[in-house]
Amino acid sequence: MTITARLRPELTVAIDGEDHPIAWSGPRPADAHPARVVRIRRSTLSESIRERARLRADAVDDPADLVVALEVEALIAPEASTARAELLRRGETLTSDTLRYVGTPNGLRTLIEDLYVAEVADAVIITPIDGLATAVLVADEVLPRLRESSARRAA
């Protein structure tokens, strides 16, 4: 008999909509336990790591049932220079009260995977800075690649 310890939930990514998520990285496994999700906004990785560690240390039940979801504001385009130009056109800056990513879909996918591997967050909620343009690219290019990566790790 093999005993498998669940130390943390699988990576989940959502695109934030007006009042509900508009896309997910994939379905929760059928054997997944109910999870308590705590959404955080932190402007630096170190703040995010500290907050996740505090929340997990304070978890009363199984820490694997706690999902710390970091909100990341994003603006992506096929070319990083196009994304930066759009940010400037909107009068926005790279700083915010939560992490911001401005660049390409591949770069955002890499950031999301790094946030999970480095235990900065258990889930990522993408809040598109430019609305539908980034939301579509995340749904069409980022989420499918994350699903592929997850499937390869599970195999």
CATH code at position 130: 3.20.20.30
- Is 100 within a domain? yes
Question: Is residue 130 one of the residues assigned to a domain?
Answer: yes
- Residue 148: the pLDDT is 86
Query: Helix, strand, or coil here: 31?
Result: coil
**CA nearest 95: which of 49, 146, 55, 41?**
41
| Dist CA 100 CA 56 (whole Å) | 24
Alpha-carbon distance of 69 to 12, in angstroms, equals 8
**Measured CA angle at 38 (ends 32, 39), to 5 deg:** 120
Token pair 């992506």 is at which residue? 76
Q: Which residue segment(s) compose the domain that 124 sits in?
A: 12-23+35-154
Write out residues in the chain with pLDDT < 50, as ranges. 1-4
pLDDT of residue 66: 84
Q: What pLDDT, on a 0 to 100 scale, did the predictor assign at position 75? A: 97
Q: What is the pLDDT of residue 118?
A: 94
pLDDT computed for residue 2 by the predictor: 45
Instruction: Count CB atoms within 10 A of the CB of residue 91.
Output: 6
What end-to-end distance do the CA atoms of the chain give, in Å?
20
Residue 2 within a domain: no
Rounded Cα gap, residues 27 and 40, in angstroms: 22
In a domain, 30, yes or no: no
> What are the CA-CA distances from residue 28 to residues 13, 78, 106, 116 (Å)?
11, 29, 23, 16
How many folded domains does the chain comprise?
1
Task: Give the DSSP letter of residue 150.
Answer: H
For residue 72, is it within any domain?
A: yes
For the four alpha carbons of 84, 90, 92 and 96, in that order, the dihedral sign comes to negative
Task: Give the model's pLDDT for residue 36.
Answer: 80
3-class DSSP state for residue 32?
A: coil
Q: Are 121 and 88 in contact (CB under 8 A)?
A: no
Is residue 5 one of the residues assigned to a domain? no
